[in-house]
């Protein structure tokens, strides 16, 4: 969601050189369902039984640079612990299958931060990232890699 109004009360904000990023506490899920742009129901599950899905809501803020182009792909952010165990965010469209049954948490974790985003000064974008990480990794920190390098210790 792109806009210029700012309510940062739910987000822990970290500033980089060009952008600021806020994050909410991580949420662990076994599955995530959403409706794609064609109206199809889609299901994301971990790639293996030893993995878990973790969703984090992020707010990206541009309050200093005239224009920040971003491409949020599967190398935009890493999630993990300070001990070096990490995993990359996933593309929910590539890592999902079409399903026919609606689930109770349908579209709870949308919109996704994905693809090209043009962020002008004074604007922000809010959305979710999904991480598929090994079960033994504690989701404590995000390493943001797109358009800036920002380390965010997640709120609990």
List pLDDT tens digits, range 59-84. Answer: 999 999 999 999 999 999 999 998 88
CA torsion 6-25-128-51 (nearest 10°) is: 170
Question: Which structural domain range is residue 128 located in?
Answer: 2-153
pLDDT at 150: 97
For the whole model, what pTM was predicted?
A: 0.91
Contact in structure between 68 and 74 (CB atoms under 8 Å) = no
* Residue 148, C-beta contacts closer than 8 angstroms, at least 6 positions apart: 16, 17, 18, 19
**What CATH number corresponds to the domain at position 12?**
2.60.40
pLDDT at 99: 95
Distance CA 61, CA 102 (A): 33
Locate all alpha helices (DSSP H) within the chain, ordered by sequence.
Answer: none
First to last CA, the chain: 24
pLDDT at 154: 93
**Within the chain, which residues score under 50 in pLDDT?**
1-5
Peptide bond into 152 cis (omega under 30): no
pLDDT at 3: 46
- Joined tokens for residue 143: 């390493």
Q: CA angle 50-31-117, nearest 5°?
A: 105
Distance CA 121, CA 115 (A): 19
Residue of 145, 131, 114, 123 lying closest to 51 (CA atoms): 131
- Joined tokens for residue 7: 């309510």
Structural domains in the chain (count): 1
């Amino acid at each position: 969601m792109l806009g210029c109004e700012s309510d940062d009360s739910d987000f822990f904000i970290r500033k980089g050189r060009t952008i600021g990023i806020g994050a909410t506490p991580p949420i662990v899920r076994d599955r995530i369902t959403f409706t794609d742009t064609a109206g199809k129901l889609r299901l994301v599950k971990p790639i293996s039984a030893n993995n878990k899905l973790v969703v984090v809501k992020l707010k990206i803020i541009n309050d200093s640079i005239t224009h920040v182009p971003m491409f949020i792909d599967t190398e935009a952010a890493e999630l993990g612990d300070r001990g070096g165990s990490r995993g990359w965010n996933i593309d929910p469209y590539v890592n999902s299958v079409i399903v026919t049954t609606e689930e109770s948490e349908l579209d709870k974790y949308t919109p996704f931060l994905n693809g090209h985003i043009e962020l002008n000064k004074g604007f922000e974008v809010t959305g979710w990232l999904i991480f598929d990480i090994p079960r033994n990794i504690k989701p404590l920190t995000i390493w943001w890699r797109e358009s800036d390098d920002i380390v965010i210790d997640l709120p609990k």
